[in-house]
A and B are shown apart, each in its own frame.
Chain A
Amino acid sequence: MSILVACAFVFGAGLFVVLSRRDVIGVLIGLELMLGGANVLLVALATVSGQDASTTQSLGLMVLVMAAAEAAVGLALLIAAFKRTGRSQVDEFGEVTG
């Protein structure tokens, strides 16, 4: 139960950071908090419900891969925005809206 509360708290903290920060790095780290909290919760849920440990580990590895890819693309977007405008705020991405 305590791991559930901790992971939900981490996910909520990440969501708050994503919604309230204006710096791209802050938003990215908030997203990583959400993914990390969800991954730990996934592993904990699989463990307490008696799933096979190898399957649990494989599932966690897939989430890890997706989160790493997301971080790489996010940081590339940050560097591209900084090269174009000299700032690192999320407002710089406003021009890509349809």
Chain B
Amino acid sequence: MSSTIAFWAVIVLLTSGALGVVLSREAMRLTLSFGVFLLGVAASFLYFGLAFLAVAQLFVYVGGVLILVLFALMMVRRGDGDKLLMEVRWDWAAAVTASAVTVLIVTVLAPEFTTTVPAPGAADSGAMASVLLEHYLPAFEIAGALLLVAVLAVLVIVGRGDER
């Protein structure tokens, strides 16, 4: 019973966060809705028993990416104290495309999901370490290299921009 409640709480967090991002016009509300969604993602990992992934999600996204987005918002915000409003266009072509992709995903993957509420899982983080460092070591190294390249790219992109 408690796992069912936890599952539906995860679903509510995920969908309400995404809906908030779609509907928000004010930048800070958009970011807060994004934060709710990220918490929902971490909660879903926790529900499936992937505690390490949930903590990584919290540290990397809620503690890192969300703060970076807030810094970027503060930087592009005008100095007159007004709220940073974003243009929300109700583009029908975009709505139809997004709906079609949603229906396609559900249609294709529906046979794989036989139960309404999947059973909560449990994972051993120590076992994950051995899987990563034994079976998937090349992928692990490539992921580290990707992060290093991303850091260098950020330095190059931000470092050589012309001042307006």
| A binding-site residues for B, Cβ under 8 Å | 1-17, 19-23, 25-26, 28-30, 32-33, 36-37, 39-41, 43-45, 47-49, 52-58, 60-62, 64-66, 68-73, 75-80, 82-86, 88
| B binding-site residues for A, Cβ under 8 Å | 7, 11, 14-15, 18-19, 21-22, 27, 30-31, 34, 37-38, 41, 44-45, 48-50, 52-53, 56-57, 60-61, 64-65, 68-69, 72-73, 75-76, 86-91, 93-95, 97-99, 101-103, 105-106, 109-110, 112-118, 121-125, 127-128, 130-132, 135-136, 139, 143, 146-147, 149-151, 153-154, 157-158, 161-164
Inter-chain contact total with CB atoms closer than 8 Å? 247
Interface of A is mostly: helix
Q: Please give, as numbers and ranges, the residues of chain B lying within 8 Å of A26 by CB-CB distance.
A: 30, 86
CB pair B118 A60 closer than 8 Å: no
Interface of B is mostly: helix
CA distance A53 to B139 in the complex (A): 17
